[in-house]
Amino acid sequence: MTKNSAAVAEQHQELVSISDGIATVEIAPAAGGAVASYRWRQNGSVVDWLRPADPAAIDSRDAGAMACFPLVPYSNRIRGGRFAFAGRAVELPTGPDDPHYEHGHGWRRPWTIVRHQASTTVLSYRHAADSWPWSYEARQAISLVDGGLVIALSLRNLSDTPMPAGFGLHPYFPSTPWTHVQAWVSGMWETDAEILPTRHVLPPAGANPTMGFDVSETDFDTVFTGWARRARISWPEHGRQLDIEAEVPLDFLVLYTPPGEPFFCAEPVSNITDAFNRRSDAGIDTGCIVLAPGQMRSASVRFTPSQAV
């Protein structure tokens, strides 16, 4: 075996594939249980509905460079990685490149394959109490049905005391000059220089997701509230669109549209940024979930693609 063929073989060992005859999904359990690609192959052409991971990302197990990764036991940032809950001070391991311990643990750790079938894979991540002083288990069931992708995510408190929690998904989508997004929302959070929430306001008139916006004309890193758990992404120059449907309690939508990048994010999540520090603020729905010992919450997200014939 040549050096190059050995590298390819090693790369394939990092991935698990499922297919339903229309779509194929590659999953990287060791890279935070992330989806590495979600594509259709038809008439000799390939359509990537999520931004595919490149070989370097797969080799380095870089969840942040994958197509989609799970958010557990919360979404987004916790200010300074610190919060208090039920009289207990929690301090998470922050650093210069991660001052707010973003997105929790799941995307940083390997997941275990619980079950693997032709069109479904179930993954599990178990967290033992450490600086996060609660043990928990997260599971993902990743399935293909008629070319659509369904990811069901669950979180169970394995500790003997209540645990604050949140969860969601962080998918990356291809961005083109004409990519258009519509998502039914009622409000949003303005943020400070560290992308932490400061004030709840109405969506911007010129780029209101409810009315729809072109990704190339926005610069969002924003939590939207009052989300109807439905969104539609269109690539009109290719005659393609993708519908997203989420379940309760994924009632918030994070839109991240970095200018000049070939990707953007539309993240169905259960909590606002810094939810644990703001849960006692009057009149604010942070989405913070409190799981009793042994309690589980779950939700699924369905991605349904279509294209002009």
pLDDT at 10: 40
CB atoms within 10 A of CB 4: 8
Q: Which residue has the higher pLDDT, 7 or 258?
A: 258
pLDDT at 225: 98
pLDDT at 13: 63
Contacts of 298 (CB under 8 A, 6+ apart): 152, 153, 154, 155
Q: Residues 225-253: pLDDT tens digits? A: 999 999 999 999 999 999 999 999 999 99
Q: What is the mean pLDDT of the chain?
A: 95
> What value does the mean pLDDT take over residues 3-32?
76
pLDDT at 199: 95
pTM above 0.75, yes or no: yes
The CATH code for residues 3-307 is 2.70.98.10
Q: Residues 154-181: pLDDT tens digits? A: 999 999 999 999 999 999 999 999 999 9
**Model confidence at 201: pLDDT above 80:** yes
pLDDT at 194: 96
